[in-house]
Structure 1
Amino acid sequence: MSASTAAPNRTRATSKATAPTARARRRSTVLGLAAWAVGIVFCLPALWMVLTSFHSEADAATNPPSLAASLTLDGYRTFFGGDGGPTPWPPLVNSLTASLFSTLLVLLLALPAAYALSIRRVSKWTDVMFFFLSTKMLPVVAGLLPIYLFAKNTGLLDNIWLLVLLYTSMNLPIAVWMMQSFLADVPVSIIEAAQVDGAKLPTVLGRVVAPVAAPGIAATALICFIFSWNELLFARVLTGVVAGTAPVHLTTFVTSQGLFLAQLCAASVVVSLPVLIAGYAAQDKLVQGLSLGAVK
């Protein structure tokens, strides 16, 4: 083949190789812009809540709402009891207590259970996993009356430790399912090496399995913390003045006098901050943990 004939062939081959790359680049750009648009749409309610929290009640109640309304901290000042209203610190402390202690109990119970179901599998472990899953099939409201009667007869109504037990039982099946997939990726060889050196089960769990599966444990802990922090039904029915949680405190802004929208938005922003801070602090562990059980 002559040089004059080979040159057009190389040109056509180069153009054919470049065309799919250009199309792929344009397709990636379009998909990226679409993803940003969808993300912004989903974030708009949260952004509007933050903006409304800095408005006065009169401006927050306008229809259609005004973007150019003057900004004020009256909503936050009222939420924190600046106008002589109830202080939010007891409900916030109750939510923090119930969420932290229940999450800690869930991790202490779920880690050995997941170890037995993934690394040192018990007989008929799939049936055990289905049993854990079946406990989430019952609607929460269906068990509310028996739990209320039990709490009333045992004197546990309006007790924060009852919520700790309920949140632990509520999140334990989810934690076992998550950690079972995380611990399945832990190399068995390092566990056997530790056992050869004389390590007992508590040492294996605490010093070998837990550090390796730390991202999965962090992801499980964060999800359990969020579920406990946001729970309303049990807290609304089983608590009162002493053990009321932050979500219950939010319902006090809906009164017979009307809806205090600016104050409610300010309260919602403050109540959402602990979860946002926890998620931001553990975002690297959360991403690693949620990808541990993925199909490679």
Structure 2
Amino acid sequence: MARAVSTNRKITVTVIAWSIGFLIFFPILWTILTSFKTEAEAIASPPSFLFFEWTTENYGIVMERSNYFLHFMNSVVISVGSTLIGLLIAVPAAWSMAFVPGKNTKNVLMWMLSTKMLPPVGVLIPIYLIFKNVGLLDTRTGLVIVLTLINLPIIIWMLYTYFKEIPVDILEAARMDGANLRNEIIYILTPMAVPGIASTMLLNIILAWNEAFWTLNLTAANAAPLTAFIASYSSPEGLFYAKLSAASTMAIAPILIMGWFSQKQLVRGLTFGAVK
């Protein structure tokens, strides 16, 4: 029998959860509010929270100074493209690790995950030189390749945990009915793991969208995504906080909206297999 939870405990937990959520969201809220201030109000001390002269001038200046839609399309192509290519590679890899008997599966998974511990700056120079020599510098293709390789260990690891929750008997029954490897993965395994695949895809789009180190170092103008768009508002003369906040708001708005509308799918996928 489930233990009853008192009303006071529910209220306490709810208040704590909302407080933590507000603290996490507050920097984003402050950035959005600052984007509607003048530069003088943005650096005023003490700062004003809501009671200030609201203006949309910063957004107009940002749109005039920068090609926002080019940066936006670069971010979409790079994040979605690297995620889709990563899934095409990760689904068969995770299937083999989850359902093909082997003694070194966990060691391979740990090795792949350990590659995320390598500081990116340690391989920046060789990758930069390779991209420069083969003509991939400042191209969408180059960034798609880099972000695919960076996020591939996470994609494989997440899909492996989802696939392990699928009963092996179902796959064996499909094999007995004559399904080959391709049909098994496409028509049996993939539909059953849709929640896990969807959450993996959403999470990796967010990771690729927010990637700054590689996008700033491997692009200049043509393939620069929204992370480079934000960085362009840091100048030797100083930081223009209001304009920087407007650029940041325009950069994070698409991913915030996507995350808001897909939060149920994301939570469902992340908890896939947790309760049987």
TM range (shorter): over 0.9
The aligned counterpart of 2:19 is 37
Given the alignment, which residue of 89, 92, 95 partners 1:109? 89
What do the CA deviations read for 1:223-272 (whole angstroms, capped 9, x no partner)? 11111111111111111121111101101111123212111111111111
**TM (normalized to structure 1)?**
0.86
2:62 paired residue number: 79
In the aligned structure 2, how far is the partner of 1:204 from the partner of 1:78? 54
Q: Indicate how the Cα distance of structure 1 residues 41 and 137 shifts in structure 2: closer, same or farther if over 3 A, else same.
A: closer
> Which of the numbers 192, 196, 199 marks the counterpart of 1:219?
199
How far the C-alpha of 1:21 sits from its partner, in A, is 6.6
**How many angstroms does 1:41 deviate by?**
2.1
Q: Could you tell me whether the CA contact under 8 Å between 1:214 and 1:285 is conserved in 2?
A: no
CA contact (8 A) 1:111 1:179 kept: yes
Which position in structure 2 is the counterpart of 1:96?
A: 76
In structure 2, the partner of 1:159 is 139
Which of the numbers 236, 260, 268 marks the counterpart of 1:280? 260
The equivalent of 2:43 in structure 1 is: 61
* 1:111 Cα deviation after fit: 0.6
Distance 1:121 1:262, change over 3 A: farther
* Correspondence for 1:47: 29
Whole-angstrom distance in 1 between the partners of 2:18 and 2:226 = 32
Tell which deviates more after alignment, 274-283 or 87-96: 274-283
Equivalent residue in structure 1 for 2:128, among 145, 148, 157:
148
Indicate yes or no: 2:264 matched with 1:264.
no
**Aligned 8 A contact 1:218 1:282 in 2:** no
- 1:287 to 1:129, Cα distance in 2 relative to 1, 3 A: same
Q: 8 Å contact 1:54–1:71 — kept in the other structure?
A: yes
Q: Whose relative contact order is higher, 1 or 2, with alpha carbons under 8 Å and at least 6 apart?
A: 2
How far apart, in 1, do the equivalents of 2:132 and 2:4 lie? 69
Structural RMSD (CA)? 1.9
* Separation (CA, whole Å) in 1 of partners of 2:165 and 2:157: 14
Which residue in 2 is equivalent to 1:7? none
Q: In 1, distance between residues paired with 2:105 and 2:66?
A: 50
> What code does the residue aligned with 2:51 have?
A
Q: Matches of 1:90 and 1:216 in 2, distance apart?
A: 32
Q: Which runs of 5+ in 1 are unaligned?
A: 1-19
Q: Which moved more, 1:201-210 or 1:227-236?
A: 201-210
One-letter code aligned to 1:58: A
Q: Distance in 1 between matches of 2:155 and 2:135?
A: 29
TM-score for both structures, normalised by structure 2: 0.92
Equivalent runs, 1:207-246 vs 2, <5 Å:
207-246=187-226
C-alpha distance 30-291 of structure 1, shift in aligned 2 (>3 A): same
Aligned with 2:158 (options 156, 173, 178) = 178
Change (3 A) 1:166 1:21: closer
Of 98, 102, 110, the match for 1:130? 110
2:218 counterpart of 1:202:
no
| Unpaired runs of at least 5, structure 2 | none
Select the structure of larger CA radius of gyration.
Answer: 1
Identity percentage over the alignment? Answer: 39
State the secondary structure of the residue aligned to 1:269: helix
Deviation, 1:293, is 4.8
The one-letter code sitting in structure 1 at the alignment partner of 2:117 is: M
